[in-house]
Amino acid sequence: MTRAGKYPPGEAPEAEARAEAALERELRADAAPLDIALDEAPAEPGGLARGAEAIRDFWRHAPMGPGVYRMIGAEGEVLYVGKARSIKKRIAAYMTPERQPTRIARMVAQTRSMVFVTTESEAEALLLEANFVKQLRPRYNVVLRDDKSFPYILICTGHPAARLVKHRGARALKGDYFGPFASAGAVFRTMNAMQRAFLLRTCSDSYYENRTRPCLLYQIKRCSGPCTGEIALDDYGKLVAQARDFLSGRSRAIRQRLAEEMAEASAALEFEKAARLRDRISALSAIQGEQSVNPRSIPEADVFAIAEEAGQFCVEVFFFRTYQNWGNRAYFPRADRALGPEEVLDAFMAQFYLERPAPRLVLLSHNVPSAATLREVLSARVGHRIAIGVPRRGEKKDLVDAAMRNAREALSRKLAEAASQEKLLAALQSAFGVDHPIRRVEVYDNSHIMGTNAIGAMVVAGPDGFVKNQYRTFNIRSADLTPGDDYAMMREVLTRRFARLMRQGETAEAGAFPDTPDLIIIDGGRGQFEAAREVLRALGVTGVALASIAKGPDRNAGRETFFVGGREPFRLSPRDPALFFVERLRDEAHRFAIGTHRARRKREFVKNPLDEIPGVGPARKRALLFAFGSAKAVARAGLSDLEKTPGLNAATAKVVYDFFHDSGRG
């Protein structure tokens, strides 16, 4: 690997800003990628020569310095994003594709143009490349599919009585952040035990300020009750300091101190105090007991291990902080099967740390080409040295081996689940007479109470199971719809869904999960089926199979009746795997619809008329409620009284007055 240019710590923000600015300048709308399988045949010689000639034309004017290049296909789609210390030297290799692997040859054959972005160093190019890959998701790059932020534990210190909260996202609140944790569940388990160990509050500041007596958490010994003076703020501050020390890795000293205090309380015959201290020590032991593979000599580290099987990759990441295991997560990046584990892990890490802080130590299962550049970027970002490497012996090697075992097991489970899911989809295809393999199934259901708060819900399933990021809800909004008319609701939902799909067309990238369903299942009988068929016919939707499922007599599972076009209503065998699969899909749609309906109904219960006034945000709403006491009192107030409200100007007062009087709400 070529050595990166100088990248002093003080220049990290400027380098990232330059990379972001370049991304804003250069990022273009992503056209639909070519529909090419990952194991497609080698490129045709004619296309290969044409692509190499196109690259040669751009090579003549390519910059000599470091930067990022993009290879563009015939339809304007981005095929690949790469970085180089010298762009001109790097793309020269593409002009002789016959010496390259098949994957590179295919990419060259599809290339029609190139775009270059120069940077001041290879480190800055690494940031920009990761940005481009995340935004454009090119066909031939390794793409990190799950890039959501990790949860942290936050001790908020912006209040005299600090509180313990789960936090995800930007660090805008004042306090001490501890993490990352692999999942929200790990955070909640740790926080639950910490509440018992340190008795810190978790309530909001407004809830805290309005307490007149201790809440239930105080009664069950999960909070020390600073809100009502059950504990002095100085003593509460000591509990906060102990919690901070624990999360910083000083748990042994805390347990020893608590044990000494318990012995002193017992000797002084203060048995209730001794029992409380005993419970706190027990809670601390529970936190540490839940941690597995706790390192003895490594205060903090991220451990990456990559496994490969059947052309699929799994990257297992373990998080160790304060000598404790804070969880692990498995990732399945999209990558060409011709790539090696080192290349996939290299691209994965650049995207993984694009918006996440790195610990002082990063342990890997494989050597990656960009380790030196990545080390330089991450060290500059945090202001201290970060070590990245592959351990050969000792406890570090044991941690990597444990991560590798988990990666192999996770990949084996995923492949087994995918094979089972493929069998279920094949059974569904046979049961409903679909003439092509099913990759996307959409299931629709409605939920309402006598027509109120009506919503439509869509759940989606595919070869990997339920695809929850594709779920959608539809607020029923037709003004002329008869309340409770399920057929009209279904017509509205399907019209909105497929009218939009017809306008946009298929936008999913090649090899990715499709946008258009192969099969639609409606939760309902013949009437719902006919309503759905009418919508699809009116919109000109073709190539999509349609079925509906009617509940059996007495709503018994296993006796459902199915409606499919061109066939008489039928039932499936009670032991048919397709029947069990459809029931799972139907139940998931029902669960999602009911949950969304209940959430909307709950919002309606607590809805405030002030929320509907344009120009009245949270601050002005608080000012009005503080001045008048309730929304009804605001509605009855005169214009002169509203104008005297602190925080409201004359124009806003007039808007509030007109809202309640001109619209007949007064």
Tokens of 394: 């000792």
Residue numbers of the chain with a pLDDT score lower than 50: 1-13, 15-16, 19, 23-41, 289-292, 663-666
What letter would DSSP give residue 95? G
Q: Look at residue 39 in the predicted model and tell me its pLDDT.
A: 41
Residue tagged 């762009």 (tokens): 87
Q: Look at residue 255 in the predicted model and tell me its pLDDT.
A: 67
Least Cα distance to 471 among 593, 329, 388 occurs for 593
Q: Look at residue 357 in the predicted model and tell me its pLDDT.
A: 78
Q: Are 347 and 368 in contact (CB under 8 A)?
A: no
- The CATH architecture to which 609-662 belongs is Orthogonal Bundle (1.10)
Q: Look at residue 365 in the predicted model and tell me its pLDDT.
A: 93
Given this chain, do its domains 300-412 and 609-662 carry the same CATH topology?
no
Q: What is the pTM of this model?
A: 0.60
Q: Supply the mean pLDDT for the chain.
A: 80
Tokens of 119: 């940077």
Task: Match domain 9-136 to its CATH number in 2.40.40.20, 2.40.110.10, 3.40.1440.10, 3.90.1580.10.
Answer: 3.40.1440.10
- Which residues are CB-neighbours of 325 under 8 A, at least 6 positions away? 291, 292, 293, 294, 295, 318, 319
- Beta carbons within 10 angstroms of residue 133's beta carbon: 23
Q: Classify each residue of 430-457 as buried b or exposed e, where b means 16 or more C-beta atoms within 10 Å of its C-beta.
A: ebbebeeebbbbbbbbbbbeeeebbbbb
- Beta carbons within 10 angstroms of residue 336's beta carbon: 21
pLDDT tens readout for residues 530-545: 999 999 999 988 889 9
What letter would DSSP give residue 357? -
Q: Look at residue 267 in the predicted model and tell me its pLDDT.
A: 78
Query: What CATH number is given for 300-412 in this structure?
Result: 3.30.420.340
- DSSP for 363-423? EESS--TTHHHHHHHHHHHHTS--EEE---SHHHHHHHHHHHHHHHHHHHHHHHHHHHHHH
- The CATH architecture to which 435-604 belongs is 2-Layer Sandwich (3.30)
Distance CA 154, CA 159 (A): 13
Residue tagged 């109904």 (tokens): 601
Which one-letter amino acid corresponds to residue 52?
A
Rounded to the nearest angstrom, the gap between the alpha carbon of residue 439 and the centroid of all alpha carbons in its chain is 22
- Which residues are CB-neighbours of 641 under 8 A, at least 6 positions away? none
Q: Look at residue 38 in the predicted model and tell me its pLDDT.
A: 36
Q: Look at residue 1 in the predicted model and tell me its pLDDT.
A: 36
- Which residues are CB-neighbours of 421 under 8 A, at least 6 positions away? 462, 463, 464, 465
Q: Look at residue 44 in the predicted model and tell me its pLDDT.
A: 57
Q: Sketch the domain layout of the chain as residue ranges.
A: 9-136, 152-290, 300-412, 435-604, 609-662
- DSSP for 538-599? HHT--S-EEEEEE--GGG-TT--EEEETTS--B---TT-HHHHHHHHHHHHHHHHHHHHHHH
